[in-house]
Amino acid sequence: MKTQGEKRAEYRSLKNQHRLSGTIRSAMAKRTQREELAGRVKFAQFAQKKKPRLLPLGETSVDVANTIARKQRPRVERWVSPEPSARKGLGFQIIERDEGSYSSRCRYRKIDYVPMVESYIRAFGSRLFARIANFAGGSVVYRHRVPQGYFFGTDALGVYCARKNETRENYRYHLTSDDVSAPNFKSTLRSTIIAHEKKQIKERK
């Protein structure tokens, strides 16, 4: 991919040859928009080929899910912890899970109530695609690039982010819904990973 300087020189040459209408700045801006759109389309196509992974719920998502669930079903007592779901379009729902009868002589069934939150992710290399419930009847799509010097990977625990060339598994930071939906994704994630690394170093001592 050409650098900004190379692109500017290209347009300056066209301008000198009277083959460019408008300003160089305008041409640069339009080119950036075209490249960003092409990148998003290519990424979306690639993301659809990757099998989604469940994105664990962060503390904030869990708290919100619990609060909304109890407001919607105030008489329910058998609540279990909110769970993520990879079902597209689920948003936020409360499902009933049959845990069997109380005893062989009892005809009543034990029903657990589970707040289900749409929360799944696809990530590879430098890019991330995720969909998380917005708790207002729909979901939000997130597309992020990895912080410079890091990469996304997938293991048995889910999607993680780590420094390039880092091979120690305990230094991998596994993402949650709170990480993905956080403002200033790159800087926030970088700070979180650094804190995770410091914790690992401290535990080694």
pLDDT tens per residue, range 68-93:
999 999 999 999 999 999 998 899 99
Q: Which residues contact 90 (CB under 8 A, 6 or more apart)?
A: 116, 117, 118, 133, 139
Residue 87: φ, ψ to 5°? -80, 110
pTM for the full predicted model: 0.73
8 Å CB contact between 79 and 70:
yes
Of 7-11, 25-29, 47-51, 76-80, which one has max mean pLDDT? 76-80
Q: Give the pLDDT band (50/70/90) at residue 24.
A: confident
Q: For the residues 39-44, what does the mean pLDDT come to?
A: 58
Q: Is the pLDDT of residue 180 over 90?
A: yes
Average model confidence (pLDDT) across the chain: 87
Cα distance between residue 81 and residue 70, in whole Å: 12
Q: Give the pLDDT band (50/70/90) at residue 102.
A: low
Q: Give the pLDDT band (50/70/90) at residue 176.
A: very high
